[in-house]
Amino acid sequence: MTKTFKDKDLGVITIQTNPRAKRYTLKIKDGAVTGTMPVYGKIDTILAFIESNRSKLLAALQRMPPAGNLLDEASELQTNTFRLHIFRTDRDNFYMNLTDGILHIACPGKTDFKDDRVQTLLKGFIEKALAHEAKRVLPKRLLALSRQFGFACSSVKINNSKSRWGSCSAKGSINLSLSLMLLPGYLSDYVLLHELCHTKEMNHSPRFWRLLDDVTDMKASALKKELKGYRML
C-alpha cells in the first residue's frame, strides 16, 4: 500500500507499507517525507508519529533543496568556507575556480541544466572543492581543539563518507567526512570534539557523554540533536 498526500508545511508526504518493516520509520529523500510502516500498521499511528516529529522534519527540510531541484545559475549554497556561484560563459568547456571564498563554476552558454550528465559534473566540482577545503581546514582545527582540551590523536584523514560525520579507531586515528564543511562551524567542532573524546573513551558510555559535556559547555545533548537536522553530501 502506498498513499500520498500534501501537508501545508511539510509538502508531499508518502506513506507506504513494507513487509520487512518491524516499526514505523520516517525519512527525507530528495526533499520529500516518506513514512514506512509494517503491513499491519495503522495510518492513524504513522500520522501521529509524523506529527510528533513535525518540528524535526521541518528543520531538516529547511536545510535541504526541494525535490527535483537542479543545480543551475539560481542555486545557492553556503559552506563553511565558500559560497557557490554558477554562471554561463562563452567558452565551450566547464571549469571551476575557488577564490576569495567563492566557488565559481563556469558553464557553456548552451548548457542544459536538466541533463543528468551536467548535474553529475556540477556535483563533482562541488565535491572536489569541499574535499580541498576539508583537507585545508579540518586537520588544523582538530589539532587546535586537541591542544586546547588536552587530547591526542595519532593521525587524521579526510574521506567522502556519506553515512558518518567522523570516526575514531582504537589506535586514536580519526577519520572525518568532507561533508563536515557543510555544517556551521560550531557543529563541525562538536563532531571533532566527539571523535577526540573517543580517543579517551572508545564507547558511548555515561563517562563519554560527561567528557563531551565538559568540552562543549554542557551542550553535548543539544548539539547532538541539532546535528540530526543536517544531511551529508
Give yes or no for residue 146 having a pLDDT over 50.
yes
Q: Mean per-residue pLDDT for 32-45? A: 92
Amino acid of residue 162: K
How do residues 163-175 score in pLDDT, each as one tens digit? 899 999 999 999 9
Task: State yes or no: pLDDT of 227 exceeds 50.
Answer: yes
The fold of 137-227 is Zincin-like (3.30.2010)
Q: Give the residue with greater pLDDT, 151 vs 9.
A: 151
**Residue range 77-127, pLDDT digits in tens:** 999 999 999 999 999 999 999 999 999 999 999 999 999 899 999 999 999
The rounded distance, in Å, linking the Cα atoms of 82 and 68 is 24
Q: Output 162 or 197, whichever has higher pLDDT.
A: 197
Which residues of the chain form CATH 3.30.2010.10? 137-227
Q: Give dist(CA 148, CA 142) in Å, integer.
A: 10
Cross-sheet strand order for the sheet of 102-108: 83-89, 102-108, 95-99
- Where helices occur in the chain by DSSP H, the ranges are 43-52, 54-62, 116-149, 185-198, 206-215, 220-227
**CA dihedral (11, 12, 15, 20) positive or negative:** negative
The percent of residues in the chain predicted with pLDDT above 70, rounded, is 96
Q: Which pLDDT value is given to residue 30?
A: 66
Specify the pTM.
0.71
Question: Which of residues 71 and 5 earns the better pLDDT score?
Answer: 71
Q: What average pLDDT does the segment 39-56 reach? A: 92
Q: Give residue 8's pLDDT.
A: 83
How would residue 64 be classed by pLDDT, with cut points 50, 70 and 90? low
- How many residues make up the chain in this entry? 233
Q: Is the pLDDT of residue 132 over 80?
A: yes
Burial of 208 (0-12, 13-18, 19+ CB in 10 A): middle
Q: Which of 7-21, 74-88, 130-144, 184-198 has the lowest mean pLDDT?
A: 7-21
Is a pLDDT exceeding 70 seen at residue 66? no
